[in-house]
């Protein structure tokens, strides 16, 4: 069994739905290193590790309580 056996990837559209952020804003956050790194799937297609997107969301939730 490999360490990546349980990794789930989500598309940019799915990440946008999960975070309620636009694709454009996610790309802006990516450009400044404030969004999880993308996994290249092809020349023009990327995905994100779902667990990392969830960590991003949870960090945003935690930040509001601080």
Total-model pTM: 0.88
Angle between helices 12-19 and 23-31 (to 10 degrees): 100
pLDDT in tens, 36-55: 999 999 999 999 999 999 99
For residue 10, give the nearest of 25, 23, 1 by alpha carbon.
23
d(CA 34, CA 31): 8
Angle between helices 12-19 and 50-65 (to 10 degrees): 20
Which residues lie closer than 8 Å to 13 by C-beta, 6 or more apart? Answer: 23
- Domains of the chain, by residue range, sit at 9-65
2, pLDDT greater than 70 = no
């Amino acid at each position: 069994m490999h360490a990546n056996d349980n990794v789930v990837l989500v598309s940019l559209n799915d990440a946008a739905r999960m975070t309620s952020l636009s694709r454009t804003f996610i790309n802006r956050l990516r450009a400044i290193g404030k969004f999880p790194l993308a996994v290249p799937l092809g020349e023009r297609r990327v995905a994100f590790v779902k667990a990392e997107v969830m960590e991003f969301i949870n960090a945003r939730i935690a930040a509001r309580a601080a």
